[in-house]
């Protein structure tokens, strides 16, 4: 079928251009919204299936009744999504990661919701947005030996988009290690783009090799600046100022048990921290590891480089991140608080409601706010500005 013509906006040189509009699918608590709005975008539609996340979303933004569609993405009709310039999709990562046994896009019960999002775009027909932004774990590119990533990108190609994958790590913006794969799918002309990938920090060898191995995919790789090498902030700067006697700190017995779970290597790091004549901080996750005797054991693994580990949803007993404070011959431990999690996601002033676990589910599933702001500033906004300044504005073809 011949491509249809999509009119992006009406040109009017005498008026200030309106803010570009976007719809946030798998919206969660709305951190993609926070990142885009900080760079001049306007949200007109949001969708998520989780009522508790919608509650948190509304507690912060206060406007969910105006545009938040609670329900399964598979049930979203194309004509209920307003006219937009961008659709974002931070679809569930469970089936693309080890946590979901790498079931993949098709067999997984959660990550397969990606196809519901693709179906929404298809049902929008000629009203499809000229830009799409996907976000997921790095395992997206290797899931099912790369077949899941290939099928997802080809699906976007079939809708008339070229695609551009790249990696951003939250630790370049905030003190949290959180590498994520992003894909911008575009139906806008980009004179700076290329079909050849040059290895870089945002397109490392993993990405470059995938691009080179798949000439059947329609690529359009934008030249992007190098992100910051590391966040200017370190872990101690985002911590709550809690007194040593605050109830959040664990009992001596519980802290000692955590210490007993360290391997010799991690215990040596903890002992060095304890011996210092100053307080220092590290984060800890519990992980089940196979031992030499063939038995599995819960181990406590320490990170002491000033960067927190990747926030996760608090499923089971190992999902919540632990803070270790040590020095002057002593140590103490507690869970990382919801407010600290908000800061680790670059959402410092997010209005937190409900239980700690509910808040941590929201942040553990979310996207780092300044990473989204960086994408808007260096990728999405220049494309929009270029398209708006074209004289006359060229028609944009999006496949039927």
Q: Tens digits of per-residue pLDDT, 229-256?
A: 889 889 999 999 999 999 999 999 999 9
Answer CATH for 4-232+363-398 from 1.10.1140.10, 3.40.50.1980, 3.40.47.10, 3.40.50.150: 3.40.50.150
CB 248 within 8 A of CB 334: yes
pLDDT of residue 6: 41
Outline where the chain has alpha helix (H). 31-37, 51-61, 64-67, 104-107, 114-124, 147-158, 205-213, 252-260, 264-275, 338-344, 356-364, 369-375, 381-389
Round to whole Å and give the CA distance between 309 and 285: 8
Give the start-to-end residue ranges of the domains of the chain. Answer: 4-232+363-398, 241-336
Q: What is the DSSP letter of 336?
A: P
What order do you get walking across the sheet with 179-186 strand by strand? 68-70, 42-48, 21-25, 86-89, 131-137, 179-186, 162-169
pLDDT of residue 66: 96
Confidence grade of residue 396 (pLDDT, cut at 50, 70, 90):
low
Taken as a whole, the chain contains a residue count of 400
Helix, strand, coil distribution of the chain in percent, nearest 5? 35, 20, 40
Confidence grade of residue 317 (pLDDT, cut at 50, 70, 90):
low
Q: Lowest-pLDDT range, 90-99, 138-147, 209-218?
A: 90-99
In the predicted model, is pLDDT for residue 109 greater than 90?
Answer: no
pLDDT of residue 192: 80
Q: What number is the average pLDDT over the span 182-204?
A: 90
Q: What number is the average pLDDT over the span 21-32?
A: 98
* Mean pLDDT rounded to a whole number for the chain: 89
In the predicted model, is pLDDT for residue 11 greater than 50?
Answer: no
In the predicted model, is pLDDT for residue 347 greater than 70?
Answer: yes
Comparing 7 with 286, the larger pLDDT belongs to 286
pLDDT of residue 185: 98
In the predicted model, is pLDDT for residue 384 greater than 80?
Answer: yes
Q: Lowest-pLDDT range, 40-49, 200-209, 313-322?
A: 313-322
CB 367 within 8 A of CB 311: no
In the predicted model, is pLDDT for residue 106 greater than 60?
Answer: no
pLDDT of residue 314: 81
pLDDT of residue 318: 59
CB 121 within 8 A of CB 400: no
Confidence grade of residue 2 (pLDDT, cut at 50, 70, 90):
very low
CA 293 from chain center: how many Å?
A: 38
**pLDDT tens sequence across 276-315:** 999 999 999 998 876 777 778 889 999 999 999 999 988 7
Q: What number is the average pLDDT over the span 350-360?
A: 92
pLDDT of residue 196: 78
In the predicted model, is pLDDT for residue 164 greater than 90?
Answer: yes
Confidence grade of residue 190 (pLDDT, cut at 50, 70, 90):
confident
Task: Provide the strand spans (E) within 83-195.
Answer: 86-89, 131-137, 162-169, 179-186
Round to whole Å and give the CA distance between 132 and 380: 10
Confidence grade of residue 184 (pLDDT, cut at 50, 70, 90):
very high
Round to whole Å and give the CA distance between 361 and 19: 31
Q: What number is the average pLDDT over the span 47-52?
A: 96
Round to whole Å and give the CA distance between 103 and 112: 10
In the predicted model, is pLDDT for residue 93 greater than 80?
Answer: no
For residue 128, whether the previous peptide bond is cis, meaning omega lies within 30 degrees of 0, is no
pLDDT of residue 141: 95
Task: Provide the strand spans (E) within 187-337.
Answer: 280-290, 296-303, 322-327, 330-335
In the predicted model, is pLDDT for residue 1 greater than 50?
Answer: no
CA 24 from chain center: how many Å?
A: 13
pLDDT of residue 108: 45
């Amino acid at each position: 079928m011949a491509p249809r013509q999509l009119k992006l906006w009406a040109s009017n040189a005498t008026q200030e251009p309106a803010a570009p509009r976007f719809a946030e699918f798998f919206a969660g608590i709305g951190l993609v919204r926070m990142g885009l709005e900080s760079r001049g975008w306007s949200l007109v539609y949001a969708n998520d299936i989780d009522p508790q996340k919608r509650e948190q979303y509304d507690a912060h933004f206060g406007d969910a009744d105006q545009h938040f569609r609670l329900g399964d993405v598979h049930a979203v009709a194309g004509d209920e999504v307003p006219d937009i310039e961008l659709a974002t999709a931070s679809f569930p990562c469970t089936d693309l990661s080890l946590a979901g046994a790498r079931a993949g896009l098709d067999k997984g019960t959660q990550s397969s919701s990606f196809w519901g999002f693709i179906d929404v775009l298809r049902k929008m027909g000629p009203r499809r947005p000229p830009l799409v932004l996907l976000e997921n774990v790095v395992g997206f590119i290797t899931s099912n030996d790369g077949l899941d990533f290939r099928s997802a990108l080809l699906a976007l190609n079939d809708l008339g988009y070229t695609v551009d994958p790249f990696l951003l790590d939250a630790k370049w913006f905030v003190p949290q290690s959180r590498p994520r794969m992003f894909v911008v799918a575009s139906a806008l002309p980009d004179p700076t783009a290329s079909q050849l990938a040059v290895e870089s920090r945002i397109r490392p060898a993993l990405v470059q090799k995938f691009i080179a191995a798949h000439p059947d995919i329609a690529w359009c790789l934008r030249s992007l600046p190098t992100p910051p090498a590391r966040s200017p902030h370190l872990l101690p700067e985002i911590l709550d100022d809690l007194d040593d006697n605050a109830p959040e700190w664990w009992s001596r017995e519980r802290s000692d048990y955590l210490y007993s779970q360290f391997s010799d290597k991690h215990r040596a790091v903890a002992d060095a921290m304890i011996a210092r004549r100053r307080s220092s901080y590290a984060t800890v996750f519990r992980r089940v590891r196979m031992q030499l005797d063939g038995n599995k054991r819960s181990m406590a693994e320490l990170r002491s480089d000033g960067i927190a580990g990747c926030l996760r949803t608090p499923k089971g007993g190992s999902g919540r991140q632990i803070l270790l404070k040590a020095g002057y011959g002593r140590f103490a431990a507690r869970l990382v608080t919801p407010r600290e999690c908000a800061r680790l996601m670059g959402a410092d002033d997010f209005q937190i409601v409900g239980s700690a676990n509910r808040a941590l589910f929201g942040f553990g599933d979310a996207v780092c706010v300044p990473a989204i702001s960086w994408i808007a500033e260096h990728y999405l906004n220049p494309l929009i500005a270029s398209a708006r300044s074209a004289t006359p504005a060229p028609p944009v073809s999006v496949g039927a």
